[in-house]
Amino acid sequence: MSDLKATVQPIDGQPISPPGTSEPLGLALIWAYTLPRIGFGIMGLLFSTYLMKYATDVLLIAPAAMGTVLAISRIWDGVSDPLVGYLSDRTRSRLGRRRSWLFLSAVPIAIGLVMIWSPPQLLSGWSLIAWMVLALLVYETASTAFFIPHGALGVELTPDYHERTRLFGYSHMFTAVGAVLGLIALYLMNEAGDKREFALWLTVIAGSCIAALIIYSTFIVPERSEYQGRGSESMFGSFLGVWRNIHARLLLIVYGIETFGAAVIGMLVPYLIAYVIPETDMGMSKSAYMIAILLTYTVPQFIFTPLWIRLARRIGKKRLWAISMFSAAVILSAISSQFIIFT
């Protein structure tokens, strides 16, 4: 922990003020910052690839109804993200404007996860749909209260351009580690005799771990006290200010297209494997085949992250990002053509 101590300057017994220098971030600090991403990687993988199928095949919610429920949660997420960002900017607290939100998000996130995956068995029809709407709103609100301040805190940890790349590169790598663990959980859930019971125990354990990691990480990671109170006087002014920036606007549009494509592919893979591709063409069980496909997407994210960090320093973030987006478009087009052939 010596490299962490060299980076953190305690104030009033709380590690909330790192030195205003561009020295390299200590590895202990980076690990402490990224730890919660492992837990989110586990449940995020299940959320993006299996929740829809779990809701339709296990909870017996009609696909159109569950699709509407997910759409409602996504619309609320679009509203809550800038709202939490604005409120976090304006927060004043001895714990820090970011860290106070992180502490408050930990327990509601765990509660929301259990609510989503383990609704009361006595619920059915409209009452079950109403429960899922409430559960997703609880989780989306709590996770927004974590991700938005957590991302902003990472940016504020260092003014160094390349150190930020390093920090968020490690964060992405830890998320990929969690996603690999999530694949194991997905396989076990898919093979479980009682999927609802397995989901209950999984979410209780995973939710408790996520809450504990958030609390631990927030205690360790510092925050610059002089940043408190900064931000726009108006939430709408803040949003419009971002939208008027041509570069920020372009990034938002590209991110929207990218996340839409990734979400659609992740959601459809379990259905494709279960109902479209013949098992005779797989050479293994459907569960194993699904995990094998998802591993080819997840593992390289972990393996190649250190390489991308180095390349970003050598050729620039923008150029590397453009190359990666073009490559992803070509590869995903090839995958889509194979899906069409199978169907």
- Which residue type does 150 have? H
- Which residue type does 126 have? W
Residue 216 has pLDDT above 70, yes or no: yes
For residues 121 and 196, is the Cβ–Cβ distance under 8 A?
A: yes
Distance CA 18, CA 146 (A): 21
All domains of the chain in start order, with CATH: 24-249 (1.20.1250.20)
Q: Give pLDDT, residue 15.
A: 40
Distance CA 223, CA 148 (A): 15
Among 20-24, 142-146, 221-225, 260-264, the range of highest mean pLDDT:
142-146
Question: CA 108, 298, 148: angle at the middle one, nearest 5?
Answer: 35
Is 0.85 topped by the overall pTM?
no
Q: Give pLDDT, residue 25.
A: 83
Distance CA 202, CA 187 (A): 12
Q: Which helix (H) or strand (E) holds 237?
A: helix 235-244
- Residue 11 carries which DSSP code? B
Q: Hey, is 93 helix, strand or coil? A: coil
Tens-place pLDDT, residues 26-64: 889 999 999 999 988 888 888 888 898 899 989 999 999
Phi-psi region of 158 (alpha: psi -120 to 50; beta: other; left: phi over 0): beta
Q: Which helix (H) or strand (E) holds 128?
A: helix 125-156
Q: Give pLDDT, residue 249.
A: 82
Q: Give pLDDT, residue 132.
A: 95
- Residue 95 carries which DSSP code? T
Q: Which phi and psi (to 5°) does residue 259 adopt? A: -70, -35
Q: Give pLDDT, residue 141.
A: 94
The residue behind tokens 């714990």 is 95
Structure tokens at 237: 């002014």
What percentage of the chain has pLDDT greater than the value 70? 83
Tens-place pLDDT, residues 193-213: 899 999 999 999 999 999 999
Tens-place pLDDT, residues 292-328: 777 777 777 778 888 888 888 888 888 888 888 788 7
Q: Cα–Cα distances in Å, from 313 out to 25, 164, 318?
A: 16, 11, 11
Tens-place pLDDT, residues 93-137: 888 889 999 999 999 999 999 999 999 999 989 999 999 999 999
Q: Give pLDDT, residue 242.
A: 73
Distance CA 181, CA 167 (A): 22
Q: Cα–Cα distances in Å, from 139 out to 9, 33, 80, 250?
A: 34, 21, 12, 29
For residues 175 and 37, is the Cβ–Cβ distance under 8 A?
A: yes
